[in-house]
Amino acid sequence: MIRDITYWNQWEEDLQRRTPVDIEQNFRLMDAMYQEARQLGIHERLNPLDGLEAIILYAKAINVPSPTRPAV
């Protein structure tokens, strides 16, 4: 259990600043996650447009235009 959240957040930020970016390791991790997803059958859709209708309906539902406010 983390008791001092501000200390923890500062420690994480310092760790990110001190750790150099390793692009090769990032690509290896991405490839490994992609292979695992393929093994689980997540990326094996026959038609890439399957489910597009649901995505469009969801986008329409969350992008409801709101009335404009007068400038202050």
Is 43 domain-assigned?
yes
What range does the domain containing 50 cover? 26-62
- Does residue 71 belong to any structural domain of this protein? no
- Quick check: is 44 in a domain? yes
Specify the higher pLDDT residue, 15 or 70.
Answer: 15
39 assigned to some structural domain: yes
Length of the chain: 72
Domain contains 45:
yes
pTM over 0.85, yes/no: no
* 50 belongs to a structural domain: yes
pLDDT digits (tens, 9 = 90+) for 8-64: 999 999 998 999 889 999 999 999 998 998 888 776 666 777 788 988 988 888 887
What total of structural domains would you count in the chain?
Answer: 1
Count Cβ neighbours within 10 Å for each residue of 23-32 and write b for 16 or more, e otherwise.
eeeeeeeeee
- pLDDT value of position 26: 92
pLDDT band of 72, cuts 50, 70, 90: low
